[in-house]
Amino acid sequence: MAETQRHPFLHGLSKHRGAPPTVVVIFGASGDLTARKLIPAVYNLGVDGLLPADFFLVGYGRKAIPDEEFRTLAADAIKEFSRRELSHDVWDRIAAHTSYVAGGYDEKAAFDRLAAHIADLEKKLGREVQTLFYISTPPSVFAPILQNLGASGLAGKYLGQAHHAKVIIEKPFGKDLASAVALNATIRSVFAEHQVYRIDHYLGKETVQGLLVQRFSNAIFEPLWNRNFIDSVQITVAEEVGVGTRGGYYEQSGCLRDMIQNHTMQLLALTAMEPPVSLDAESIRDEKVKLLRAIQPLALGPDGDAARAQYAAGMIDGKAVPGYLQEEGIAKESATETYAALRLSINNWRWQGVPFYLRSGKRMARRVSEIAINFKRPPGALFAEGDRFNLATNTLSFQIQPDEGLSMILNTKVPGLETRTQPVKMNFRYATTFGSNTPEAYERLVLDAMVGDGTLFIRGDETEASWKLYTPLLEAWAKAGRDGMDTYPAGSWGPPSSDALLAKNNHVWRQP
């Protein structure tokens, strides 16, 4: 009892997931991601008893903010964005260990002040603590932050010990292969790879984590998970929203950089990789890298493996919305794609000849992310006669968002005196089975970084393998300008050129 009173976070603490005493430093502490995701994630870990007994939260940013004001802003963020209501009992314990340090990202003296602040926390605690740096800033300041973490000695703190310093880096990890290589070189000049956690929040989603479980813990799937039984794979990451006020950022990014190269490729890697030898982080990440390196170079040009488009004016939820070129901050001759579709070929024994179709876009018919495994049709000898047989392709679909779960389309007999068939869908939903208040992706990822589990994070060679595939396509699109740019009405499922990409193989996009 005395130990629980001295360390209130010990109450209910999971021994399996327990982290050492930790200081989490958030760079970009006044930013949108911190308010919407990071502060609520820390709070909910506290509610679940998963924060270490000695936990400290330090915000860092250019703007000078008193500690008490930063705590107030954090509490307001929890009230607005947390999946749970604010409990003053939990928040008061976190707030008592929450502080703020102001300084520039290229200001070495400010990082020295940060180091002194962390040393003071250790002195008051009477023990060494692990420091986890979360870089939640624009990529333009990644390099100075990393360099100053090295120059101040913070990056090398306790290196070689179990509670060494760690760094979480938000995407984007470069904008092409050359910039990704340069960023990785900067990272490795300061941190060892095992200290680095490149975060993609899609990997923290329950269905993405469950994909490995579904694939490798169910014996009915593995014998079928290959070219002999699977006809094609479709991965869709669709958004209803347009660019909104992010036009300036999006003009520098585009759909391929913003969604395909990172989120969508992570889904592809987990879907298609070989079984790892174990569930440890490096074994899983090794197989992901092997898979990415097995993807064949994209055929470029009008009849190649890619299509791009911009949304035009249309209707979303019964309301008229403008086209991309009419959005605020968008150049009238913009050649930035808001939609991209790709046909990928994987040159290995398991997937030879199986096309993988990827698509992502803004202002599409609805918000949905899914992986659809389309199986080959059985021989038509038994059910090919007449119009009584309505047969569909067997499809296993993993819904990533918004309704997390999976479904299977099967063909079955319609009750009656005649033999008639009809496809039916078997559904599993996380919310129905386990309740709707599942942890947010950032909760899982922040906790994993604290305990040193890199499974759901991206390794440096993984980022470079993905950029190596897409950099030639980006360069070709940049050279072509608006030539070859298709359009699609807002509220639709994409442009004609995307449909044509599949039609070459007698396939069609499924509508999730």
| CATH code of 349's domain | 3.30.360.10
CATH of residue 120? 3.40.50.720
Same domain, 351 and 460: yes
Task: Find out whether 58 and 131 touch, Cβ atoms under 8 Å.
Answer: no
Catalytic residue at 263? yes
In DSSP terms, 511 is beta-bridged to none
Residue 198 lies in a domain: no
Dist. CA 181–CA 169, nearest whole Å: 15
Which pLDDT score is estimated for 4?
A: 40
Residue 250 lies in a domain: yes
Q: Which residues contact 449 (CB under 8 A, 6 or more apart)?
A: 132, 166, 168, 197, 457
Same domain, 287 and 365: yes
What are the Cα distances from residue 387, in Å, to 384, 391, 409, 419, 422?
Answer: 8, 10, 20, 11, 11
Same domain, 363 and 448: yes
Which pLDDT score is estimated for 386?
A: 60
Q: What is the pLDDT of residues 76-87, one digit of tens each?
A: 999 999 999 999
Q: Which residues contact 113 (CB under 8 A, 6 or more apart)?
A: 101, 103
Same domain, 260 and 164: no
* CA torsion, ordered 428, 431, 433, 437, to nearest 10 deg: 150
pTM of the full structure: 0.91
Same domain, 166 and 243: no
Same domain, 224 and 344: yes
Terminal Cα-to-Cα distance of the chain (whole angstroms): 53
Task: Find out whether 59 and 70 touch, Cβ atoms under 8 Å.
Answer: yes
Token pair listed for 430: 């996380």
Which pLDDT score is estimated for 383?
A: 67
Residue 474 lies in a domain: yes
Same domain, 246 and 148: no
Same domain, 155 and 103: yes
Dist. CA 285–CA 458, nearest whole Å: 8
Question: Which one from 164, 201, 263, 507 is the annotated catalytic residue?
Answer: 263
In DSSP terms, 401 is beta-bridged to 369
Dist. CA 271–CA 210, nearest whole Å: 11
Q: What is the pLDDT of residues 245-264, one digit of tens each?
A: 888 889 989 999 999 999 99
Dist. CA 37–CA 201, nearest whole Å: 10
Boundaries of domain holding 493: 203-503
Nearest to 310 by CA among 294, 296, 326, 295: 326
Secondary structure E strands in 46-191: 55-61, 98-102, 130-135, 166-170
Same domain, 287 and 432: yes
Same domain, 351 and 459: yes
Which pLDDT score is estimated for 70?
A: 97
Residue 15 lies in a domain: yes
Dist. CA 116–CA 154, nearest whole Å: 10
What total number of domains does the chain contain? 2
Residue 186 lies in a domain: no
Q: What is the pLDDT of residues 347-400, one digit of tens each?
A: 999 999 999 999 999 999 999 999 999 999 887 666 666 667 777 889 999 999
DSSP-derived 3-state class of residue 145: helix
pLDDT per residue rounded down to tens, the chain (512 residues): 333 444 444 443 444 457 889 999 999 999 999 999 999 999 999 999 999 989 999 999 999 999 999 999 999 999 999 999 999 999 999 999 999 999 999 999 999 999 999 999 999 999 999 999 999 999 999 999 999 999 999 999 888 787 899 999 998 899 999 999 999 999 999 999 999 999 998 888 888 888 888 899 999 998 999 999 999 999 999 999 998 888 888 998 999 999 999 999 999 999 999 999 998 899 999 999 999 999 999 999 888 999 999 999 999 999 999 999 999 889 999 999 999 999 999 999 999 999 999 999 999 999 999 999 999 988 766 666 666 777 788 999 999 988 888 999 998 888 888 888 888 999 998 888 887 677 889 999 999 999 999 999 999 999 999 999 999 999 999 999 999 999 999 999 999 999 999 999 999 999 88
Dist. CA 472–CA 299, nearest whole Å: 10
**DSSP at 492:** B
Q: Which ranges in 134-176 belong to alpha helices (H)?
A: 142-151
Residue 350 lies in a domain: yes
Dist. CA 345–CA 272, nearest whole Å: 11
Residue 188 lies in a domain: no
